[in-house]
């Protein structure tokens, strides 16, 4: 079946440094790629998304890049802050359906 691989599973960075999380998808028909942030005990919340007709999207300190040829997309967080500490999930739409395939998550720790 189709899948999404996400790396790394854990990531520790110093406050102010950048963090990069990478995902690779298998379904060539995927055309929508959201990123969710989940704080401990809370619901996942959308932080940024990108559609297949765009190569990069930025929102303040957060950016996402998409390489359709290589079937991978990445989340970039610059100038990290302690409140960025959370689990981040990538997802890819499953072509022809109403479903996503989620990555396994990355636990980001920003050290003060």
Partner 1 sequence: SQTIHQWPATLVQPVGSPLSLECTVEGTSNPNLYWYRQAAGRGLQLLFYSVGIGQISSEVPQNLSASRPQDRQFILSSKKLLLSDSGFYLCAWSAPGGGMETQYFGPGTRLLVL
| By CB under 8 A, residue 104 contacts partner 1 | yes
Between 36 and 73, name the residue whose CB sits nearer to partner 1.
36
Between 43 and 60, name the residue whose CB sits nearer to partner 1.
43
Between 36 and 77, name the residue whose CB sits nearer to partner 1.
36
| By CB under 8 A, residue 97 contacts partner 1 | yes
Tell me how far apart the alpha carbons of residues 12 and 44 are, in angstroms, rounded to a whole number: 20
In angstroms, give the least distance from the CB of 24 to partner 1: 15
| By CB under 8 A, residue 32 contacts partner 1 | yes
Residue 14 contacts residue 72 (beta carbons within 8 Å): no
The dihedral sign for the CA sequence 42, 66, 95, 48: positive
């Amino acid at each position: 079946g189709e899948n999404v691989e996400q790396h790394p599973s854990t990531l520790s960075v110093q406050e102010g440094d950048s963090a990069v999380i990478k995902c690779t998808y298998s379904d060539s028909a995927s055309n929508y790629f959201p990123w969710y942030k989940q704080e401990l005990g809370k619901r996942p919340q959308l932080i940024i998304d990108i559609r297949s007709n765009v190569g990069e999207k930025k929102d303040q300190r957060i950016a996402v890049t998409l390489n359709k040829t290589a079937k991978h997309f990445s989340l970039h967080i610059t100038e990290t802050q302690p409140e960025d500490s959370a689990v981040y999930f990538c997802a890819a739409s499953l072509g022809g359906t109403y479903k996503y395939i989620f990555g396994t998550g990355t636990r980001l720790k920003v050290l003060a």
